Amino acid sequence: MPASPATGPSPIEGIRLVERFERRSADFTFTATSLPGHLIHLIVAGEVEQTSNGRRQRLAPGTLVWYHEDEWVEGRVLRAPWVWYAVNFSAPTLSPPDFARRLLPDQAALEPAFAALHAAWRQPPSWRRDVLCQSHLLALLAGLETNRDDRPSATPAGRLWWEVETWARQHIERAPTLAELCAQFHRSPNTLARACREAVGLAPMKRLKQIRLSLARGLVLYSDLNMTEIALRVGYHRVHEFSRDYRKAHGRPPSAERAGG
């Protein structure tokens, strides 16, 4: 029997926080930014209405929310007590889900996995505790990441592209050119093109347009922003160009997709 290929390195570089929070007052309002890296919430009890970077969200028990980098969030507790798990971790080679898939309902079955990770996190610092936390988080991610083929490579080139992509996501309204990316990261166009193709199999500008239009789709479907505001937020200064690219990427113009729900 031929041997199976060796597995690659863990995408998780470090876990910063695992906590179970509770707010007991209804009508409690909040404004916050998510933590750097990846931040995953699982709602255990209560109900919240919030807006995250323009996307309207209703969070009920069993809802999982995936934040990435510094997302601005504001909201209100509709039904108390509001109880949720929060897991913040660094994984530079793990691409976040598309914006339309950052909120997943019906994930209550994951609560034992969050509870096990939380219990391991609360143990005294030790090598065993670190291994347990890593293993529980990897198992949790494996349960979520069942349809992902866009994870950047863990090679040096893949890591370079991840740095570029993270910066571009943080400045998504600018729609940087390849020349601007090269100046920002002191790399040649050929180097960035090779890094992007090795990491995600696309040319740099095509990948960045994919990310911008993914965010746009989330805003079209889940926000109250008008099309001009959405276009500007994802780096388009001409609405007709935004509509043209949106239709090419998603099959329908943005206004038609919003009207269809």
pLDDT tens-digit map of 131-166: 999 999 999 998 875 445 455 555 677 778 888 988
Domain 156-259 has CATH 1.10.10.60: yes
- Give the Cα separation of 38 and 117 in Å (integer): 16
In sequence order, the β-bridge partners of residue 43 are 84
Q: What is the pLDDT of residue 154?
A: 55
Neighbours of 124 (CB within 10 A): 6
- Give the Cα separation of 221 and 162 in Å (integer): 27
- What does the block give as tokens for 241? 């160009």
The HSE-up count of residue 182 (CA atoms within 13 Å, CB side) is 13
HEC secondary structure over 178-198:
HHHHHHHHCCCHHHHHHHHHH
pLDDT tens-digit map of 223-232: 788 999 999 9
Q: What is the pLDDT of residue 146?
A: 42
- Give the Cα separation of 255 and 252 in Å (integer): 8
Residue 33 or 12, more confident: 12
In this prediction, residues 239-255 reach a mean pLDDT of 92
Range of lowest pLDDT (61-65, 93-97, 209-213, 233-237)? 93-97
Sequence spans of domains, the chain: 14-144, 156-259
201, 34 contact by CB (below 8 A): no
- Give the Cα separation of 65 and 101 in Å (integer): 9
HEC secondary structure over 222-250:
HCCCCHHHHHHHCCCCCHHHHHHHHHHHH
> What is the percent of the chain where pLDDT is above 70?
89
In this prediction, residues 179-195 reach a mean pLDDT of 94
Q: Which CATH class is domain 14-144?
A: mainly beta
Range of lowest pLDDT (26-30, 76-80, 104-108, 131-135)? 26-30
Residue 30 or 71, more confident: 30
SS3 state at 27: coil
Q: What are phi and psi of 38, to 5 degrees?
A: -100, 140
Q: What is the pTM of this model?
A: 0.67
Q: Has residue 116 got a pLDDT over 70?
A: yes
Neighbours of 105 (CB within 10 A): 13
Q: Is 150 exposed, middle or buried (0-12, 13-18, 19+ CB in 10 A)?
A: middle
- What does the block give as tokens for 199? 């990491």
Q: What is the pLDDT of residue 190?
A: 95
- Residue 2: pLDDT band (50, 70, 90) is low
Q: What is the pLDDT of residue 27?
A: 82
Amino acid at 43: I
- Give the Cα separation of 134 and 225 in Å (integer): 39
